[in-house]
Every structure is written in structure tokens, then in C-alpha cells.
Amino acid sequence: MNRDEKTLILFKPDCVRKNLSGVILQRLLGEGFRLRGLKMMQLDDAILREHYAHIIDLVIDDKPLFPTLSAFMQTSPVVALVLSGPGVITRVRTILGPTNSMKADKGTIRGDYGTNSMLNICHASDSPESAEVEIKRFFKPEELFDNID
């Protein structure tokens, strides 16, 4: 838990449309994490296919999930950020609560602001390996600032 690491977080369209980006960022920074990169961007099919490749063929209730997820993720820009700190990946996921907002406790970000498994406010990396890949997917090296302490 003391190892300094980085994580990618996406404030999803429901977060942006509800004007919660500042509130969520403040909650995360209030935990002592360091901001290393921040930008707003409109996602397209190409980046979403890459980002959600692990579920591209997932079918739920006889319907493919990806087309619905992709359409949702393109309804507004997202806010992409990179945070660093000791144990940031696990700590952020704990602060967010479970992916399904309906199962998230009040006091977690998803429990306070989310609606369901898709409208769950944020995406966050789930491991150091995925964080490394995801950060490279959404940020160029010159968009990250490790020299701010």
C-alpha cells in the first residue's frame, strides 16, 4: 500500500452531464492523491473498442453490451485524469465503490451519485498493468507531469 503508483480515471458522461466533475475531483484530491494529468476529450469508436476490448463480445440478456456502452460513452465528452500516490489504484476503487452503483454504499462516489452499472460516474484502472496501458491510451507522455510535488 506504500508503493507510489499511477491510475487512470475517466469521469464518464453521466458525471460530466450532472456537472459533478469538480465535486468528484475534489473528493479524490482530498485523499492526498497527486494530479499528474487532466483533460476533457470526446471519445470515438476506435478508442472505445480498444478500451473495452475485454468485453467487446459480452452479451447480456441476449443483447451485445458494447454498442450500448459505446453509444453512452459518446453522449458527451469525458474528463480523463491521472492520479498518483501510495496504493492509489486500490484506494480509488474503494472510494468509488462497486461498479454497480445500486450495490454501492452511501459515502462512496458511486453510492452517492451513480445509477447502475453503466451510469456509475467513473472508470478507474483495476491493476498496475491496466493502469499503465490505459494511461498510454489516453495521454501522451508530454501531457503528464510527474515533477509536481
Is 51 part of the annotated catalytic residue set?
no
Burial string for 15-24 (b: 16+ CB within 10 Å, else e) reads bbeeebbeeb
Cα–Cα distance, 3 to 8 (Å, whole number): 16
In whole angstroms, how far apart are CA 11 and each of 87, 110, 122? 20, 12, 5
Beta bridge partners of 10: 80, 123
Per annotation, catalytic residue among 36, 91, 93, 123: 123
Cβ-based neighbour number of residue 119 at 10 Å: 17
Cα–Cα distance, 100 to 70 (Å, whole number): 18
Residues annotated as catalytic are 123
